[in-house]
Chains A and B, each alone.
Chain A
Amino acid sequence: KNQVEQSPQSLIILEGKNCTLQCNYTVSPFSNLRWYKQDTGRGPVSLTIMTFSENTKSNGRYTATLDADTKQSSLHITASQLSDSASYICVVTPSGSARQLTFGSGTQLTVLP
């Protein structure tokens, strides 16, 4: 069964600090890997999308990396802000299956003042 595992499950940091969230997956082969941000009570919003041939993708203070050999991805948040408090979800699309994205359970990030 294809799996996407995220760590840590939750994380608390102080405003202004950096942090890195991890995503390990067994989906293979895969078409693309996405990171989403989900604020409490809202729908997920896309942060980055990387194909299997890409190593890094940035979106402002968010930088995602991908190592297809080790099947690992990370999301680095720089100079955190209170508004970064949310759940961050890693999503992998298997090749040949446009239909069934595989979602991780998310990392709940809390940024404190």
Chain B
Amino acid sequence: GAGVSQSPSNKVTEKGKDVELRCDPISGHTALYWYRQRLGQGLEFLIYFQGNSAPDKSGLPSDRFSAERTGESVSTLTIQRTQQEDSAVYLCASSTTGTRNTGELFFGEGSRLTVL
């Protein structure tokens, strides 16, 4: 696709259920990021993938959160035993290089998660 694609765009789930969010980065982009954005707040870093390097998971808020990436393509963010405080928009972004360089970061439209 032409841009970063995320699915689902909206997800409503019950507390305690597991959810899986998907991100398709732009083809050829080696760097992929997941962020969380709570209502009216800034973006919180969750996890970063760069090529075949070990991912930087330092932003994951708890062990209920995990993410995987297959090579340099699709990534999935999994939240287990969801809690109400997990309600947020989860944004995925990709870049041709790490952002230490001026590689532009392209964002998806986000997955809005609501935990009832």
Chain A interface (Cβ within 8 Å of chain B)? 31-32, 34, 41-46, 49, 51, 89, 93, 95-101, 103-106
Contacts and interface: CB of A to CB of B under 8 A. Distances in A.
Main SS at interface, chain B:
loop
B105 interface: yes
Taking chain A's interface residues, is the majority helix, strand, or loop, or is none over half, making it mixed?
A: loop
A41 to B, nearest CB: 8
A1 B110 CA distance: 27
Contact of B99 (A41, A45, A93, A105): A93
A98 B98 contact: yes
A104 B44 CA distance: 10
B48 to A, nearest CB: 4
Interface string B25-64: 0000001010100000111110010100000101100000
B110 A95 contact: no
Nearest to B44: A103
Query: How many residues of B sit at the interface, in one of the four size bands?
Result: 20 to 34
Contact of B104 (A46, A51, A101, A103): A46
B101 interface: yes
Interface of B: 4, 31, 33, 35, 41-45, 48, 50, 56, 58-59, 91, 93, 97-102, 104-110
Given A42-B109, A43-B110, A89-B42, A98 B104 contact: no
Sorted nearest first, the 8 A-B pairs with minimum C-beta distance are A98-B98, A43-B107, A98-B100, A105-B42, A99-B48, A103-B43, A103-B42, A99-B56
